[in-house]
Amino acid sequence: MTDRGDHRVDRALLLTFDDRHVREWAAAAPLFRRYGARVTFFICEPDRLDRDDVRLLHRLADDGHTIGCHGLRHERAPEFIAAHGAGAYLAREVVPALESLRRLGFPSRSFGYPCSARDTSTDRLLLTLFERLRGGVSADRRADPSLAAELHVPAGDIAARRVLLGCSVDSGRGAVAYGDDLTGVETALRRTADDGGVTTLYAHGIADAQEANHVTPARLEKLLALADGMSLPCVGFDELP
């Protein structure tokens, strides 16, 4: 089990969850606690959280998890900007989401890109509002060991690396299963545990079956156990230097 300490993060798994599956995430809180894991929840449509969602999200934040922003209406940044301009993107999609989260008691310092859609100009724009951004690598490479080179950020680069690319560990969506081979992800975790640095992963809901993208509790526990067995702490974005 990894303790929550004040020591500098020099190696970590950054496990992140997107969208608005608050009840499922809250149900997994004991699992996270068992492994001493803190994760990041990137929330979209914060204005549509009901009272119970907000209460549960506060409990997750009290457990040390990071609450980040995932946009007001889950718009893809490059496409929205191409259609409406950068000013409109911030004014209609990002700032209202940030303000809504702040009003609910969640001052968010990081942003997870909806659909991992980003480019260097959206990065530059969003880094005026956020300390860190999470993008993604292609999920169909997660069985490929060479993915580790792309996912793993060396320890010396953590402080300066403001855009972290994650890989999906979702199990499936609706009736579609994404396959069980996570060799690339596991290789990245091993490298992170051995050499230091961080590896970022993402999922959505946490359920055995779900219409939306989801990771099963069994796979989630397997990943947490794998990291724990390597003495690799699982921390939230807010804990990064």
Which amino acid, one-letter code, is at 76?
A: R
Q: Which is nearer to Zn ion, 136 or 196 (CB)?
A: 136
Listed residue (198, 141, 187) closest to 168, CA to CA: 141
Give the shortest CB-115-to-Zn ion separation in angstroms.
6
19/24 with CB nearer Zn ion: 19
Nearer to Zn ion, 19 or 228 (CB): 19
Q: Residue 40: which of 73, 18, 9, 55 has the closest Cα? A: 18
**CB 44 to Zn ion: min, Å:** 6
- Smaller CB separation from Zn ion, 68 or 114: 114
Provide the minimum distance between the beta carbon of 202 and Zn ion in the complex, in angstroms, as a whole number.
Answer: 9
Cα separation of 239 and 182, whole Å?
26
Q: How far is the CB of 19 from Zn ion (least distance, A)?
A: 5
Residue 176 belongs to what H/E stretch?
Answer: strand 176-177
- Find the DSSP H helices in 36-182: 51-62, 77-84, 86-88, 95-103, 120-126, 147-151
Burial of 67 (0-12, 13-18, 19+ CB in 10 A): buried
Q: Which is nearer to Zn ion, 134 or 142 (CB)?
A: 134
Q: How far is the CB of 155 from Zn ion (least distance, A)?
A: 29
Contact footprint for Zn ion (CB under 5 A)? 18-19, 114
SS3 91: helix
Residue closest to Zn ion when measured from CB atoms: 18
Q: Kindly state the tokens that stand for 191.
A: 């490298």
